[in-house]
Structure 1
């Protein structure tokens, strides 16, 4: 587990890569800010299929520096948008269908900015943070996603 909390005055309030269940209330509380008029939250869950094939479980693995890369992505988002507060947590280890894999939240002065910043945060997290997913299908076959 890697946690990288900032001082409450900084825009990046919570960054973590954890092997324990994620808590939506914790992430939402982290981005509360009286100057924010909009808060966007994304919750990524394990679905029961991929490409028409039934999925039985996922397992996420992270590079030891994944938390540092997540912080870098968060800092870039905070620099590019008028972010009042930002939080992002990603789960590692085995996850069942319905489990939460990632939560990202951003608060900004206005809703459009919050939506755009949260979308960027999630996309950059997915493409730039070294976290890999092993999908296990119902037939026992498996595949790695995001691994080079």
Structure 2
């Protein structure tokens, strides 16, 4: 029984000794720190991540604004390209219509020195027919090399 009392006395003094050390090192704050150190580490890590994420979000927002500007510019360029393509198609259509009209006029052109032929033509075409008869144009619809004799009064 004597050993038991001694042990309790030691435990009691050890407990007091431990409380004394804790109180000198910061008391309850030290105990609180020791119990909550994992939570404190998580809070510190969360704060660090929040700072890094904030800068990344700002950079993302600026990049998004630049991307929107580029999208609008690309849209404008596409509109311009489509407009130019439509103009090109219109010009090609006009060119083809003019080529067809030229071919038709070449096929319908009368080159016979027949009075009947001259009767069915209007005055402008009669003038052309007279020039053909006079040798101003050759058989390939080009101006001949000999000068126009024309009528002199």
Q: TM-score, normalised by structure 1?
A: 0.18
Higher fraction of strand: 1
Higher fraction of helix: 2
Q: Indicate the structure (1 or 2) with the bigger Cα radius of gyration.
A: 2
Larger relative contact order (C-alpha < 8 A, sep ≥ 6)?
1
Q: TM-score, normalised by structure 2?
A: 0.17
